[in-house]
Amino acid sequence: MEWIAKHEYIGSEFDFVASDGSGCVAYFSSAGFGPIPEQAAQIGDQMYELCETIEGLAKVSQVEELSTEPNIGEWVAAAERGFYAYDWCHERARYELVARPVAPIRVSDLEAQTRLCEFIETCRFQWEFSNAKAIET
């Protein structure tokens, strides 16, 4: 997967989703400055719609909060829906795991959400989110 550091969404919040080598899913918040995968840049504003789809999914998991920062509700909400939830850390130039689902879901669990499932399958990392507290870009 190729990361794009200079993209048209710099300066505005841009979230994206991806899958890992075992089929688990994750939600990423760029905080307006983080690099994004080439696949997310290619579909652009459609990514906003896909991320809104996540908000409509049923809660399926308890959550382990890994951040002591206030206002992590967005990441907790994603983890409650089975997604590993990462935020861009500008100081360390990497995505850091904010909230982890106790019962993660897989791409195959999203079959009813065709567009979301199709995108997540194209935006796939080689490593596993269960072992990645931080993702270097």
Containing domain of residue 24, as a range? Answer: 3-128
Residue 134 lies in a domain: no
Kindly state the percentage of the chain with pLDDT values over 90: 76
Strand partners, 69: none
Residue 135 lies in a domain: no
DSSP 59: P
Residue 10 lies in a domain: yes
pLDDT, residue 104, reads 98
How does the average pLDDT of the chain come out, rounded? 93
pTM of the model: 0.94
